[in-house]
Amino acid sequence: MQAAVFDISGPVLLTPIRHRDVRGFFSETYNERDLRPFLGDTRFVQDNHLFSVKAGTIRALHFQVPPKTQGKLIRVTRGSVFEVAVDLRRGSPSYGKHVSTVLTADNWQQLWVPPGFAHGLCTLEPDTEVIYKVTDFYSPEHERGIRWNDQALAIAWPAVAATPTVLDKDKALPLLADLPAYFPAG
């Protein structure tokens, strides 16, 4: 497993090793022992699989608040996505800043988005599939989000996001400036 860190503390870009032969390849996409140096004693409780038909599909900047926070380990199995993680840890030197990367089925990379970050993506190709592990169960009453196109976030979304497919509920999410302090830094 190879790992790269960002300028913002928390998220990690991971690349599992693929062992190739005449049949194709084999890869351990998750191995608790190998990932412990990067994720600590993280425990995953649920796997999610999403499929987006159109390129330019936005899955907004979502997160869950305490006590049901979620960390996410995200990978693409078909197509490609522009991934974003926004730091929501109030008092953090990187509060309101973000990291972004492109995950593809070909580059085989995974993004670790720890609790305290909002997560969003934009599909870059039609028929894209994403699989991700989460550290707590989905809880509708703890689900929150911030608007994906909030100018204060200064996210350079890809050109395909100029005419996005996005749910009305995600268009109505609050701006960062209107967000309560759900995650204290520390």
Of the residues 19, 30, 62, 138, which is catalytic? 62
pLDDT tens string 5-37:
999 999 999 999 999 999 999 999 999 999 999
What CATH superfamily is the domain 2-174?
Answer: Jelly Rolls (2.60.120.10)
Where are the chain's structural domains?
Answer: 2-174
Helix H or strand E encompassing 36: helix 32-39
Give the closest residue to 70 by CA, choosing from 19, 130, 143, 20.
Answer: 143
Tokens representing 172 are: 């109505």
Is 132 annotated in the active site? yes
Of the residues 95, 132, 142, 182, which is catalytic? 132
Is residue 165 within 8 A of residue 55, CB to CB? The reply is: no
Buried b / exposed e along 11-47 (16+ C-beta atoms within 10 A): bbbbebeeeeeeeeeeeeebeeeebeebbeebebeee
Is 182 annotated in the active site? no
pLDDT tens string 30-54:
999 999 999 999 999 999 999 999 9
Tokens representing 156 are: 């350079």
Pairing state of beta strands 89-90 and 183-184?
parallel
